[in-house]
Chain A
């Protein structure tokens, strides 16, 4: 049991007590909120379905492995351990995929080695970029995401550079 286990139930109880104190019909309002939630889910489902399909197919095609083995020499040139390249490429697409690769890496090189620490920092300081963009924009009618992708990817690129700097 950790502190973070308490956060959600406490928040829940706090909101209910506060609502009761302010004479809000907490049950009726909660139910209205759930109804809005159902609406949100049915709205986002079709786009989410399409995008997960595309990302899933991309993952299974082996494109990531091929790209990472072809840029491995470049990585070594900059002092990047080749083991971490598939992780860097997988990370923006899939959280669970990245965790699977990460476990793989540290079981081979050990969690406290340079490569292990680098992989830890890469995973700990990043998010599933493409997934986030897809899910968030799927909730709206926006078709042109404008500079979202370049800005988000500039962050991911910066991550790769800063991670080697700060782990060393």
Chain B
């Protein structure tokens, strides 16, 4: 993380000088903090809502029921994870929300899943294999209906806004497969990268 953080900022300054965009860079540095706060406030509302709903759901045993449905499949991917644990529950919810395209709901579930994975797998400063796999799943698109794209296509007068559906499915599935296989292959190296 420290290399990612400092690397991006150093590269930004170099490119800004080359492109003559130093004043834009300064503006970004000053205003991006505000954007982070705005994002946190937006996220806060949604996270609090879902934490509340999920708390009720887990106390009444719904989470356990939903997890039981999907767990057999996901247990194949997430090796060694307790199928009845809270982490698996949130992973299931995150993936369900992703499939339905509920972006606002999937992020809070994902964050909760990461925190539960941390507890269950006692991760140190190194991410565990299951954490990596879970994040990699979320960096690929799982959304079944690309609603945003279809809406923009419609707005720009497309004759068939949804005819990209099949290519989107094929490309998403292929991309996801490549990403998961790469994650599984790379996890064998002891320290990762």
Where the two chains meet, the residues of A that have a C-beta atom closer than 8 Å to any C-beta of B are 4, 7-8, 11-12, 15-16, 18-19, 21-22, 24, 26, 29-34, 36-38, 40-41, 44-45, 48-63, 65-66, 99, 102-103, 106-107, 110-112, 116-117, 120-121, 123-127, 129, 132-133, 135-137, 139-152, 154-156, 158-159, 162-163, 166-167
By the criterion CB–CB under 8 Å, are A129 and B139 in contact?
yes
Q: Give 16 CB contacts A-B under 8 Å.
A: A8-B102, A19-B56, A24-B56, A55-B8, A56-B31, A61-B24, A107-B156, A111-B161, A112-B158, A121-B164, A123-B146, A124-B168, A125-B146, A144-B191, A144-B192, A162-B174
Residue of B with least CB distance to A49: B36
The distance in angstroms between the C-alpha atoms of A156 and B182, with both chains bound, is: 12
By the criterion CB–CB under 8 Å, are A37 and B52 in contact?
yes
Residue of B with least CB distance to A154: B182
Residue of A with least CB distance to B41: A41
* A13–chain B nearest beta-carbon distance, Å: 10
How many A-B pairs fall under 8 Å by CB?
Answer: 336
Chain A binding surface SS class:
helix
Kindly list chain A residues whose C-beta atoms are within 8 Å of the C-beta of B148.
Answer: 99, 123-124
Q: A22, A38, A60, A127 — which one has the most chain B CB atoms within 10 A of its CB? A: A60
The distance in angstroms between the C-alpha atoms of A65 and B191, with both chains bound, is: 35
- Given contacts A147-B189, A147-B193, is CB(A60)–CB(B27) below 8 Å? yes
Kindly list chain B residues whose C-beta atoms are within 8 Å of the C-beta of A63.
Answer: 11-12, 15, 19
| Option from A49, A123, A158 in Cβ contact (under 8 Å) with B174 | A158
Taken residue by residue from 96 to 127, chain B's Cβ proximity to chain A (1 for < 8 Å, 0 otherwise) reads as 00001110010110111011011000010111
Contact residues of B between 41 and 79, Cβ < 8 Å to A: 43-44, 47-57, 59-62
By the criterion CB–CB under 8 Å, are B147 and A54 in contact?
no
B80 interfacial by beta-carbon distance below 8 Å: no
By the criterion CB–CB under 8 Å, are A60 and B25 in contact?
yes
Kindly list chain B residues whose C-beta atoms are within 8 Å of the C-beta of A31.
Answer: 52
By the criterion CB–CB under 8 Å, are B152 and A99 in contact?
yes
Kindly list chain A residues whose C-beta atoms are within 8 Å of the C-beta of B168.
Answer: 120-121, 124-125
Kindly list chain B residues whose C-beta atoms are within 8 Å of the C-beta of A107.
Answer: 156
Kindly list chain B residues whose C-beta atoms are within 8 Å of the C-beta of A24.
Answer: 56, 59-60
Contact residues of B between 1 and 16, Cβ < 8 Å to A: 1-2, 4-5, 8-9, 11-16
* A69–chain B nearest beta-carbon distance, Å: 11
